[in-house]
Structure 1
């Protein structure tokens, strides 16, 4: 989670059109989301589902449910919500597309398991760096160039001072 829930990214903010809000799915293996988090108090017709593991405290599960949200208790993998069972559950619930907005670890997990088929990278004209800087995508990565993800159908678009690069994998 590492702060993503505290400042909702654009895709989890409410749409201007009634009934068009996306289902919000929060990955939080131990259910550490603060009960005061804005994401749990949105006035929206779309649900918020919180994906957790058996490591989540039962009382916290009940507290989140009392706020009107569903807690999806899923298997864990390396201490995190196992992504493939999550995606299988979403498929059974007829979720046909998923926009993943997360920190480096979440994005890295999706890339490591080759669960990404389209990507959107936004670049701001700000250069950060340093030995201890956070990567955009963490995870295991690949050991050899031959194992790298190969992008196709690239598009590049300027959005004010920012640049959006999208493509298929």
Structure 2
């Protein structure tokens, strides 16, 4: 999982603006991580807010990773940039006619409903693994990132910390449920720490 954040742990302003928190060197390093992965996973909030291409652009690559979008209610615009060249949209529910139109345009729509009306993330990772995807790169907002982390589905976090402050109302890194005791905290182990341009890159591993 890759995260770009300010020193106070924020990934975007409250209005969603996030370009750019980190510098060019960190962004290029992030594209290197994209290039080595089998697939890139993001959420519908990121797609609706940023309309990203979510591909490898800043370095040379012989292939583009598969793009996977978690979109519980199939809200993705049919002209979203991320769908160019094909993608997988993973839903819990949604309009079947829209799903058929997306399929006709080369987009796979996969229904994996969970018990809470959202996508079953465990089932999604099992499905991707069955397709030979053994390195999944996550670039998502706080909702999906927090859900993956809370469910113990994250092996590694690569955080680029920029020397800026965005304030208390800006959006956070991980949307996790409120903790009532310190025993419930999610502990992390630092694997590596180094400067990338003017930003600090820290690689963490959740202690599970």
User: Normalising by structure 2, what TM-score?
Assistant: 0.70
Alpha-carbon separation, structure 2, partners of 1:121 and 1:143: 26
| Structure 1 residue 73: Cα displacement | 0.8
Name 2:55's counterpart in structure 1.
12
Structure with the bigger percentage of strand: 2
CA contact (8 A) 2:47 2:82 kept: no
Q: What CA distance in whole angstroms lies between the structure 2 residues aligned with 1:144 and 1:98? A: 32
Matching residue of 1:88: 126
1:33 counterpart (76, 80, 84): 76
The residue matched to 1:88 in structure 2 has which SS?
A: helix
For structure 2, which runs of at least 5 residues remain unmatched after alignment?
1-43
The 2-side partners of 1:141 and 1:21 are apart by 37
Q: Of the two structures, which has the highest relative contact order with CA contacts closer than 8 Å and spacing of 6 or more? A: 2
**1:51-79 CA deviation, whole Å, 9 max, x = no partner?**
112x2100110111111011111113433
Moved over 6 A (4+): none
Does 139-148 or 116-125 show the bigger shift?
Answer: 139-148
- Higher mean displacement: 75-84 or 115-124: 75-84
**SS at 2:45's partner residue?**
coil
Deviation per CA, 1:71-120: give whole Å up to 9, x if none: 11111343321101111111211211211111100001001101111111
Q: Report matched runs for 1:58-97 at 5 Å.
A: 58-97=96-135
Task: Establish whether residue 103 from structure 1 lines up as the match of residue 152 from structure 2.
Answer: no
Could you tell me which of 24, 39, 48 is aligned with 2:87? 48
Instruction: Identify if the C-alpha distance between structure 1 residues 139 and 123 changes in structure 2 by more than 3 Å, giving closer, same or farther.
Output: same
CA displacement at 1:141 relative to structure 2: 5.1
Q: Secondary structure at the match of 2:69?
A: strand
| Displacement after TM superposition at 1:148 (Å) | 2.4
**TM-score scaled by length of structure 1:** 0.84
Task: Within 5 Å, give how 1:110-149 maps onto structure 2.
Answer: 110-130=148-168, 132-140=169-177, 142-149=179-186
Change (3 A) 1:77 1:160: farther
Give 3-state SS (helix, strand or coil) of 1:140's partner. Answer: coil
